[in-house]
Amino acid sequence: MTAPLRFRLLGRGIAYSASPAMMAAAFAALGLPHTYAIADVEEAELDAAVAALREPGVGGANVTTPWKLAVAERCDALSPDAALLGAVNCVVPRDGRLTGHNTDLPAIVDEMRALRPTGAGRVVLLGGGGAGRAVEVAIERSGATELVRIQRRDGSWARLADALAAADLVINATPVGTGSDESPIPAALLRPDLAVFDLVYRPSPTRLVREARAAGAPARGGAGMLLGQGWRSLELWLGAPAPVDAMRDGLRAALGGSADV
Which residues are catalytic, by number? 68
- The DSSP bridge pattern shows strands 90-94 and 97-101 to be antiparallel
Residue 3, classified by CB atoms within 10 Å of its CB into exposed (0-12), middle (13-18) or buried (19+), is exposed
3-state secondary structure of 171: strand
> What CA–CA distance (Å, rounded) separates 237 from 232?
9
Report which of 87, 102, 150, 146 is spatially closest to residue 121, judged by C-alpha positions: 146
Residue 69, classified by CB atoms within 10 Å of its CB into exposed (0-12), middle (13-18) or buried (19+), is middle
Cα-based angle 125, 127, 133 (whole degrees, multiple of 5): 75
Report which of 10, 9, 11, 12 is spatially closest to residue 24, judged by C-alpha positions: 9
